[in-house]
């Protein structure tokens, strides 16, 4: 992310898509924000947290000081925002907090506030070392790192699509709507999700079940975040937030896929909404015993696909994609300029319905041995295509199916990646050489073939 050397004055503007949306959700968001602040105070009073940081108006400060004194808490004024008012800390450990704040020890402050260690580390890096004022883009990048630890971040990325839990979403923190007090390191931070769920359950027990339900619904909406020239725009089906961010010459976009869509919502974001009944992370559908095993076997394939994209591949077709988890990762990692189309072929409708519904993944429900290549050409100019095929799928085919299938592959793709999940059979390469393919690259448990000229 190329950040310019100046700061945009802090500002935030809120607009609702309609009067009905304003009337309903503006009121609810205010109730959520107020209830969350009170819930944070209660956590400190009960000793479940050692400190919290909030904002208050100057006129409300005397009452707040009296409340803190009554509950045996220290109130420390640590800053002033023209936009939000006085920034203060409520804590049971005033000396430790004051020392950490005075010396700029952000990690120590994070521990006192009860933040996860991974999120503290990310915040220190972005806020102190990189001098960022908005951690949203780094969160999205870290989410990609979680999907593929070996991803090459030297490549320019300007658009990222992620799946997010309502417990990690920060997209509405400008409205005060959140389940955790910190800025998570990624949209898939496990420690944040665990803490968010614990907070949600404890929040409900205070008698605010309806407010918690509203918060979870709002944080489950699809969101588009864009940043350019120091101005960020956060669009949801109900509300649009325009605020200051880190100034950049290039535009950066994050799309967070939602699982709920409000009745009063503008229809423009419906394509980024995942049905709420879709089960996520169903790796067992694809024959993996655990998620860790799946990640291990997917890693060399993702690396090899990335190399082919750098060589000019613009469409990836997975023959026998199961529930599409591998395709979801490919679309997340490589759906950048130039845009890479991602298509999955799978005969099992149930598997497809249980997978992640990434907005850029197209599914064709068909037996791979009966694929009609004309349906896979796409619209407009035909793009250089990489076909993914497991050798296990070839072992499952009958001789008659193979006789029809192998010649068709030449018409479907420009390159073919044969791979296995610990059961790769290199003998199949000879069959494809006969059919008009030649080796162009190799990797762990895989080989890439190219149509012979």
Residue 153: pLDDT band (50, 70, 90) is: low
Written in H, E and C, the secondary structure of the chain is: CCECCCCCCCCEEEEECCHHHHHHHHHHHHHHHHHHHHHHHHHHHCCCCCEEEEEECHHHHHHHHHHHHHCCCEEEEEEEECCCEEEEEEECCHHHHHHHHHCCCHHHHHHHHCCCHHHHHHHHHHHHHCCCCCCHHHHHHHHHHHHCCCCCCCCCCCEEEEECCCCCCCCCHHHCCCCCCCCCCCCCCHHHHHHHHHHHHHHHCCCCHHHHHHHHHHCCCCEEEEEECCEEEEECCCEEEEEECCCECCCEEEEEEECCCCCCCCHHHHHHECCCCCCCCCHHHHCCCCHHHHHHHHHHHHHHHHHHHHCCCCEEEEECCCCCHHHHHHHHHHCCCCCCEEEEEECCHHHHHHCCCCCCEEEEECCHHHCCHHHHCCCCCCCCEEEEEEHHHHHHCCHHHHHHHHHHHHHHCCEEEEECCCCCCCCHHHHHHHCCEEEEEEECCEEEEEECC
Residue 379: pLDDT band (50, 70, 90) is: very low
Q: What is the pLDDT of residue 171?
A: 94
Number of domain units in the chain: 2
Same domain, 210 and 295: no
Same domain, 305 and 193: no
Same domain, 236 and 152: yes
Average pLDDT over residues 299-308: 89
Same domain, 316 and 407: yes
Same domain, 363 and 417: yes
Same domain, 249 and 379: no
Same domain, 252 and 140: yes
In this prediction the pTM is 0.65
Q: What is the pLDDT of residue 5?
A: 84
Residue 380: pLDDT band (50, 70, 90) is: very low
Last residue of a domain, one of 272, 295, 328: 272
pLDDT at 306 over 90: no
The mean-pLDDT minimum among 35-49, 256-270, 309-323, 390-404 falls in 256-270
Residue of higher predicted confidence among 26 and 380: 26
Mean pLDDT across the chain, nearest whole number? 86
Q: What is the domain-level CATH number for residue 294?
A: 3.40.50.150
Within-domain flag for 5: no
Within-domain flag for 374: yes
Per-residue pLDDT reduced to its tens digit, 101-124? 999 999 999 999 999 999 999 999
Same domain, 408 and 379: yes
Same domain, 264 and 333: no
Last residue of a domain, one of 206, 239, 272: 272
Q: What percent of the chain has pLDDT over 70?
A: 89
Per-residue pLDDT reduced to its tens digit, 155-207? 677 888 888 889 999 999 999 999 999 999 999 999 999 999 999 999 999 99
Within-domain flag for 350: yes
Same domain, 196 and 343: no
Residue 279: pLDDT band (50, 70, 90) is: very low
Q: What is the pLDDT of residue 39?
A: 97
Same domain, 142 and 234: yes
Rounded to an integer, what distance in angstroms lies between the CA atom of residue 285 and that of residue 92? Answer: 49
Within-domain flag for 236: yes
Within-domain flag for 214: yes
Within-domain flag for 446: yes
Within-domain flag for 427: yes
Q: What is the pLDDT of residue 80?
A: 92
Within-domain flag for 152: yes
Same domain, 247 and 347: no
Last residue of a domain, one of 272, 303, 319: 272
Domain span at 250: 12-26+132-272
């Amino acid at each position: 992310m190329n950040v310019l050397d100046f700061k945009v004055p802090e500002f935030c503007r809120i607009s609702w898509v309609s009067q009905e949306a304003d009337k309903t959700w503006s009121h609810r968001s205010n109730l959520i924000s107020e209830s969350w602040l009170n819930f944070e105070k209660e956590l400190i009073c009960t000793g479940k947290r050692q400190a919290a940081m909030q904002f208050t108006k100057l006129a409300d400060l005397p009452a707040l000081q009296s409340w803190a004194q009554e509950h045996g808490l220290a109130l420390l004024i640590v800053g002033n925002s023209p936009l939000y008012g006085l920034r203060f800390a409520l804590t049971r450990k005033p000396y430790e907090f004051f020392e950490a704040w005075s010396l700029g020890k952000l990690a120590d402050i994070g521990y006192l506030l009860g933040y996860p260690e991974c999120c503290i580390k990310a915040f220190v890096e972005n806020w102190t070392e990189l001098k960022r004022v908005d951690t949203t883009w780094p969160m999205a990048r870290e989410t990609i790192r979680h999907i593929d630890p070996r991803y090459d971040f030297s490549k320019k990325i300007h658009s990222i699509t992620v799946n997010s839990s309502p417990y990690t979403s920060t997209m509405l923190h400008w409205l005060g709507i959140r389940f955790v007090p910190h800025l998570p390191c990624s949209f898939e931070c496990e420690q944040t999700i665990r803490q968010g769920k614990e907070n949600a359950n404890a929040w409900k027990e205070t008698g605010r079940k309806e407010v918690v339900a509203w918060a979870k619904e709002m944080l489950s909406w699809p969101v588009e975040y864009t940043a350019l020239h120091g101005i960020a725009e956060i669009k949801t089906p109900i509300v649009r937030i325009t605020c200051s961010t880190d100034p950049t010459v290039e535009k950066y976009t994050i799309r967070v896929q939602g699982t709920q869509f409000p009745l009063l919502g503008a229809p423009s974001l419906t394509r980024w909404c995942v049905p709420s009944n879709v089960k996520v992370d169903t790796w067992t559908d694809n024959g993996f015993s655990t998620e860790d095993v799946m990640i291990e076997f997917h890693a060399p394939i993702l690396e090899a696909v990335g190399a082919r994209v750098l060589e000019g591949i613009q469409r990836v077709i997975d023959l026998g994609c199961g529930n599409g988890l591998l395709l979801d990762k490919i679309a997340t990692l490589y759906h950048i300029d130039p845009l890479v189309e991602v298509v999955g072929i799978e005969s099992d409708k149930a598997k497809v319905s249980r997978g992640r519904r990434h907005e850029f993944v197209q599914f064709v429900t068909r037996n791979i041995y009966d694929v009609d290549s004309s349906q896979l050409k796409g619209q407009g100019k035909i793009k250089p295509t990489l076909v993914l095929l497991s050798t296990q799928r070839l072992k499952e085919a009958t001789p008659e199916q193979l006789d029809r299938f192998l010649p068709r592959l030449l018409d479907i793709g420009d390159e073919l990646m044969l791979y296995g999940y610990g059961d790769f059979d290199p003998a199949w390469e000879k069959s494809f050489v006969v059919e008009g393919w030649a080796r162009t690259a190799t990797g762990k448990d895989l080989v890439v073939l190219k149509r012979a000229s």
